[in-house]
Amino acid sequence: MKILVAVKRVVDYNVKVRVKADNSGVDLANVKMSMNPFCEIAVEEAVRLKEKGVATEIIAVSVGPTAAQEQLRTALALGADRAILVESTEDLSSLSIAKLLKAVVDKEQPQLVILGKQAIDSDNNQTGQMLAALSGYGQGTFASAVVVEGDRVKVTREIDGGAQTVDLKLPAIVTTDLRLNEPRYASLPNIMKAKKKPMETLKPEELGVSTASTLKTVKVEAPAARSAGIMVKSVDELVDKLKNEAKVI
């Protein structure tokens, strides 16, 4: 079985995001970038399936600038066999990303595609579902457990009421949730080995995909700073402030 894993380059989750002075976007100058945490979970799940003997090859793919090679090398160090970078400096929409991934899926013909359920920057939670629709594959989103049996995969997914298990025929799309696994750290020997693993670079035009978007970012603003709380001396004072100042009762 061949598994394709999509990874995204995002601002590290420990970094406090800053907005540019002209409100045109997020300031990325001298900011630490990392692999999206949900994508780390996707890579870990693919590696675990390979360790179980279910998968024979893991291909990591990313869409982004040349610098995204860093995150692909991380995926290779974690256990992926080779990588593909679809190089683009544009601010691509979820649909454009899904179309590019669909082209890579058509090229590689994987039996299973694993993605993080969402990216911590755009937070859209759309790409996996769009890819499933474009490819016509079954989808198991928000996965907390993945079991491959023959030509089928059972995905336990998190829903509002608890958990739901879906039985999908391969090839299929799976998006990962937090409870699926705990990603490992890349060892130094594997980091060194990753430098020698193959990485292919493609352009959207080579895949025959137009990345023109109908969406435009008009303005980016930081959330308003939270005001400090106050201490009240009695329940009556609390009720008075909720009623007359906060106007919530």
Query: How does pLDDT run across 123-172, given as a tens digit for each residue?
Result: 999 999 999 999 999 999 999 999 999 999 999 998 988 899 999 999 99
- Under the banding of pLDDT at 50, 70 and 90, the label for residue 57 is very high
> Is residue 58 predicted with pLDDT exceeding 90?
yes
Predicted local confidence at residue 234, as pLDDT: 94
Please provide residue 164's backbone torsions phi and psi, each rounded to the nearest 5 degrees: -135, 135
Going by the DSSP 8-state scheme, the letter that residue 60 receives in this structure is E
Q: What is the mean pLDDT of the chain?
A: 94
CA dihedral 227, 231, 235, 240 (to 10 degrees): -40
Predicted local confidence at residue 249, as pLDDT: 85
Over residues 95-106, the pLDDT tens digits come to 999 999 999 999
Over residues 1-51, the pLDDT tens digits come to 999 999 999 999 999 989 998 988 888 888 999 999 999 999 999 999 999
What does the alpha-carbon distance between residue 116 and residue 101 come to, in Å, rounded to a whole number?
13
Over residues 180-237, the pLDDT tens digits come to 999 999 999 999 999 999 999 999 999 999 888 888 888 988 888 888 888 999 999 9
Going by the DSSP 8-state scheme, the letter that residue 208 receives in this structure is T
Q: Which residues contact 195 (CB under 8 A, 6 or more apart)?
A: 73
CA atoms 157, 94, 103, 200: torsion sign: negative
Predicted local confidence at residue 213, as pLDDT: 80
Q: Which residues contact 17 (CB under 8 A, 6 or more apart)?
A: 11, 26, 222
Task: Please determine, looking at this structure, whether the domain spanning 2-244 carries the CATH number 3.40.50.720.
Answer: no
H-run or E-run covering 237: helix 235-244
